[in-house]
Amino acid sequence: MTYLFNNPIAFAEELVEGFATAHRRHIQLIHGGVMRRHKAKQGQVVVVTGGGSGHYPAFGGFVGGGLAHGAAMGKVFASPSAQQICQVAEAVDAGGGILFSYGNYAGDVLNFTQAQEHLRATGINVRSVIVTDDIASAATAERHRRRGIAGMLAVLKAAAVASDAGKSLDDVCRIAAEANDRVRTLGVAFSGCTLPGANRPLFEVTAGTMEVGMGIHGESGLYRMEAPSADELAQILTEKLLCEIPAGVEHPERARVGLILNSLGTVKQEELFVVYRKIDRLLSARGLTIVEPVVGELITSFDMAGVSLTLFWLNDELEETWLATADTPAFHRTQALCDEIQVPEVNADRNKVDAIEAFTTGSAESQRAAQLVFTMLQAAQVVIDEQREELGRLDAVAGDGDHGIGMQRGIAAAIKAAKAAQDAQAGVESLLTAAGAAWADQAGGTSGALWGVMLRSLGSAIGNQAAPSASSIAAGIASALHHVVDLGKAQPGDKTLVDVLHPFSAAYAAAISRGSSISAAWTIAASVAEEAGEATQHLLPKIGRARPHAEKSIGTRDPGAVSLVLIIRAVEQVLTAHCS
């Protein structure tokens, strides 16, 4: 249970502020996350990580000497937005290139990829190494699909040590990729976690049992079993990890390994030591040498009761990075010394979303239409607020349960930005562009990025001058569908919002081709969308967090599809009331 919070929506911002204030010696607060207090040398490669809040010490706790140069910190269990990531990257950039390294989750991949493309377009050399150490989340042949969990520490440390040694971006990427190739993790859980403000856990594990392979967002594990003793758990974790020795390890019978025994939240240090004592004996009996083990909290999930074990199969180069000094808020290897310390002058409030860029003034017709669009956003907010808990429940079946609160954050930010655009006499395009950017930035995660793309695509097709027409709206919906598919890579049948957006777009276009008005065409297409949304309960998810445990979602509608239908219906009500 999470006991201490104010407004759950503001939880992430408040925890980041408090975290940065408590660790002024190590880090500095910037918009989007935190950065090292000691600036990188000019021309040096810098390492940027990031992810959702709720996993401390990841990700901000790994910023400091000997580890990451900056971390983008998203909302609770939601990836940081592309804008946040760009702002952190630009703040720490020293001119030698940037390495992004983060966990393999759909929202993180989507937003870090967008940020990478944007930064490259501005002339900054950016590369990525995605962490994929969780052996429970995909088979060996599909390692690229695996989640990134506690092994992220080993990858970040390898990259940062290479960076601080002055190596090139190519070398930093090579070393980070090799570290990822040689790290394996398996986790177990005895109970679920509860998000701030929620009155029940995201999921439950039957008392007296343990789920093997559970993810840090509450993703279901491989199987459940009777809860073991500490020694039995040590044996389970050790044996399963030793069944998958990385290909590059030449003599596993006498290998040297880094080790992380991690608490996911409520399992305390004393319990970890009981488990570790047995792990040490088991690995030593197999001829392995454990090098500087780490036992503690490295990546958590609020109050989840669980642990994970990570083995990092070392070679000479990686052992050097594993042993190197580090000094961050959450991880220490003696005292890291920084030469030629430079304290950067960075305004933590720089580029806040509130400081929206100048709007293009719309024509009188477009301004009137923008007022109606604003009314539609308000109607959407009402229905999302009403259905937040149900959307979270649907998402928790095979995901992390944050879809409802993510949609609520997104629509609230969109309305705030749209109001500013309306006050500035903006046209439809400017209003929707501002609303989309705010939605993507404040909601975070996959849905935040996709809704940002949809609103911007629709606005671009309509423009700021002519009044919206049936054909321009159809073009905007089709453009939104194209960009959502291009960005998220989902196709019809993958159990995502595309399964609603695709038939909705086709039905609307068909209706206007028959001469229907905007309002009539929307009503026809809305009925098609609602049927498509209901039909998602029969689909197996093929993309995103729900994919590894697809069968569990059979019989449950896709939350992204449901929220899209809710908003389509809310817009229909406004159109019916205001348009002939």
Count of C-beta atoms within a 10 Å radius of residue 244:
12
**Residue 187's beta-bridge partner residues?**
308
Radius of gyration over alpha carbons of the chain, in Å?
24
> Per the omega criterion (within 30 degrees of 0), is the bond before 293 cis?
no
Token duo for residue 504: 């909705």
Residue in 26, 31, 55, 217 annotated catalytic: 217
Residue 354 CA, chain-centre distance (Å), reads 23
Name the pairing type of β-strands 289-296 and 256-263: parallel
The string of DSSP letters for 178-194 reads: HHHHTEEEEEEESS---
CA distances from 269 to 107, 232, 275, 289, 468 (A): 31, 18, 10, 22, 61
Report which residue type is found at 166.
G
Task: Identify whether the C-beta of residue 60 lies closer than 8 Å to the C-beta of residue 34.
Answer: yes
CA distances from 360 to 9, 56, 363, 428, 442 (A): 31, 42, 10, 10, 23
- Give burial (CB, 10 Å; 0-12/13-18/19+) of 514: exposed
Task: Identify whether the C-beta of residue 199 lies closer than 8 Å to the C-beta of residue 207.
Answer: no
Token duo for residue 415: 């309305």
What is the 3 state secondary structure string of 436-487?
HHHHHHHHCHHHHHHHHHHHHHHHHHHCCCCCCCHHHHHHHHHHHHHHHHHH
CA distances from 488 to 365, 370, 402 (A): 34, 28, 18
Report which residue type is found at 75.
K
Token duo for residue 392: 């979270």
What three-state secondary structure class fits 358? coil
The string of DSSP letters for 85-143 reads: HHHHHHHH--SS-EEEEEE--HHHHHHHHHHHHHHHHTT--EEEEEE--BTTSS-GGGG
578 a catalytic residue? no
Count of C-beta atoms within a 10 Å radius of residue 58:
30
**Residue 126's beta-bridge partner residues?**
98
**Which positions are annotated as active-site residues?**
217
